[in-house]
Amino acid sequence: MVGLANIYVLPISYSLLSLVRPLNCMEMKKISRRKFNSRLGKGLGGAALLAGMPLSHVTACAPKQKDSLGIALVGLGSYSTYQLAPSLQDTQYCHLAGIVTGTPSKEKEWAQKYGIPSSNIYNYENFDSIADNEAIDIVYVVLPNSMHVDFSIRAAQAGKHVICEKPMAMNVEECDAIIQACEKAGVKLSVGYRLHSEPYTQEVKRLVREKTFGDVHYVSADAAYMSRGNPDQWRLDIKLSGGGALMNMGVYSIQSVIYGTGENPISVQAQEFSTRPEYFKQTDETITAQFEFPGGAAGNIMTSHNASANRLYGSCDSGWYELQPANHYGPLHGRTSEGEFSFPHERQQKLQMDDFAKHILQGTKNLVPGEMGKRDMIIVEAVYKSIAEGGAKIKLDLGEMGLS
């Protein structure tokens, strides 16, 4: 396939340009619409010059910029079914365009419920042919953690923007592989941390950023729920989950202490507690960890599959802030030493997916870039390392990585 990039990077002088035959509309169409669009902003004028054609000719042939991007959900489990698909009925900048499922009965069910044409329905085997489907712009990977890396990379190689659910992958190496695949393909990448688009969380970030109560001295975050269900579920299977409470809920508490201080931690010490080893055979049940932050704040997290907790608290020079609940689907509840604060409730996933679509369409900030997911995985690995070393202090050198 001839790419515009191949044309406009040629080191030829302007005098030679008139010798280059302008592309006709048919030839332009052969250039994939996604690649064309993604390069429109940075290279269209140059491409037109180098190809010796007037810009008006190019824009006449160019596909119209979409105002809503098509999302394909990969994995139709509970999160896709009860959160993402309903949220996509309310989104403004993206819509549910396709599905990828390994369960044939879901194909019919979802097609009927959401009016999805058969041309936009894939299984895990024929997934790669999604590359040819112009109705799909974004692939959202909502599979067990061990499958994130494979499907995120395949999505990027198919030329689709990627949202990868949290935790981003099984380890840092896999996060790197996803980031590199997206960079190589020239597609955008986000991780499914919905709270960055959520107003209570944004308010905490603002209080911290503007030092409304001065410097943060102590931050504490709990993210936990009771797991009593099917002992064979993938979340309790280390090969599919990569870890227990820490990989599942713990990443929220790690996120909380980071935006609760506005800084990345510089060290961590961690402890693991096990009271139901017959149920949590392979994965961690409860973990606590303490963090040091470069500005002097101390942080503590608790994450568990054997307790119910959902809170972020920060103690500052001249006051405090609290979210409780802090990370469920909302509405959340916020308080400070000066009183309560509240915002109208909207589905967090709607806000999250619209923010990512706007990032692609309008160049707004990517609120949850891949490096944020990778940073959290570095911290997760350090927590497990500390536990393996009997609670040793593990130093972290994250700089500004993933701060937003």
Least distance from ligand NAD to the Cβ atom of residue 52, Å: 49
- The 8-class DSSP code of residue 63 comes to P
Which residue's Cβ lies closest to ligand NAD?
77
Among 166, 196, 311, 358, binds ligand NAD (CB under 6 A): 166
Contact segment (CB under 6 A) with ligand NAD among 70-78, 218-226, 317-325, 392-400 equals: 70-78
Near ligand NAD by CB under 6 A, which window of 56-64, 136-144, 282-290, 311-319? 136-144
Give the three-class secondary structure for 392.
coil
Binding mask 372-391 for ligand NAD (x = CB under 6 A): --------------------
Does 142 participate in binding ligand NAD (rule CB under 6 A)?
yes
75 touching ligand NAD, by CB under 6 A: yes
Structure tokens of 11? 């080191």
| Stretch in the footprint of ligand NAD (CB under 6 A) among 76-84, 221-229, 262-270, 381-389 | 76-84
Answer for which of 34, 39, 154, 194 binds ligand NAD (CB under 6 A) is 194
How far apart (Å, rounded) are the C-alpha atoms in residues 71 and 350?
A: 12
* Residue 347 binding ligand NAD, by CB under 6 A: no
Q: Which two tokens stand for residue 227?
A: 């797991």
d(CA 148, CA 223) in angstroms, rounded, equals 22
Residues in Cβ contact with 125 at an 8 Å cutoff, skipping those fewer than 6 apart: none
Does the protein bind ligand NAD through residue 191 (CB under 6 A)?
Answer: no
The amino acid at residue 375 is: R
Q: Whose Cβ is closer to ligand NAD: residue 45's or residue 102's?
A: 102
- Angle between the N-to-C axes of helices 251-259 and 199-209, in degrees from 0 to 180, rounded to the nearest 10: 40
Tokens of 376: 């959290």
Q: Is 78 in the site for ligand NAD (CB under 6 A)?
A: yes
Please identify, using beta-carbon distances, which residue of 175 and 394 lies nearer to ligand NAD: 175
Q: Say how many C-beta atoms besides its own lie within 10 A of residue 117's C-beta.
A: 10
Residues 82-101 that bind ligand NAD (CB under 6 A): none
Q: What size, in residues, is the chain?
A: 404
- DSSP for 276-322 reads -TTTSSSS--EEEEEEE-TTS-EEEEEEESEEEEEEEEEEETTEEEE
Q: Whole-angstrom Cα distance, residue 363 to residue 201?
A: 22
Distances from the Cα of 18 to the Cα of 21, 22, 48, 49, 371, angstroms? 7, 9, 11, 9, 44
Q: What is the DSSP letter of 132?
A: G
Measure the N-to-C terminal CA separation of the chain; round to a whole number of Å.
37
Torsion of CA 66, 164, 234, 376, to 10 degrees: -160
Q: Which is nearer to ligand NAD, 77 or 186 (CB)?
A: 77
Tokens 């190589």 belong to residue:
184
**Binding region for ligand NAD (CB under 6 A) out of 73-81, 272-280, 369-377, 384-392:** 73-81
Helix (H/G/I), strand (E/B), else coil: 158? coil
| Contact between 145 and ligand NAD per CB under 6 A | yes
For residue 193, the minimal CB distance to ligand NAD (Å) is 7
Nearer to ligand NAD, 79 or 320 (CB): 79
Binding of residue 112 to ligand NAD (CB under 6 A): no
Amino acid present at 167: P
Query: Binders of ligand NAD among 211-250, rule CB under 6 A?
Result: 234, 240
Of the candidate residues 192, 242, 262, 299, the single one contacting ligand NAD (CB under 6 A):
192
Q: Which is nearer to ligand NAD, 144 or 299 (CB)?
A: 144
Q: Indicate whether 402 belongs to the interface with ligand NAD (CB under 6 A).
A: no
104 binds ligand NAD (CB under 6 A): no
Q: Is 144 in the site for ligand NAD (CB under 6 A)?
A: yes
Contacting positions for ligand NAD (CB under 6 A): 75-80, 102-103, 142-145, 165-166, 192, 194, 234, 240
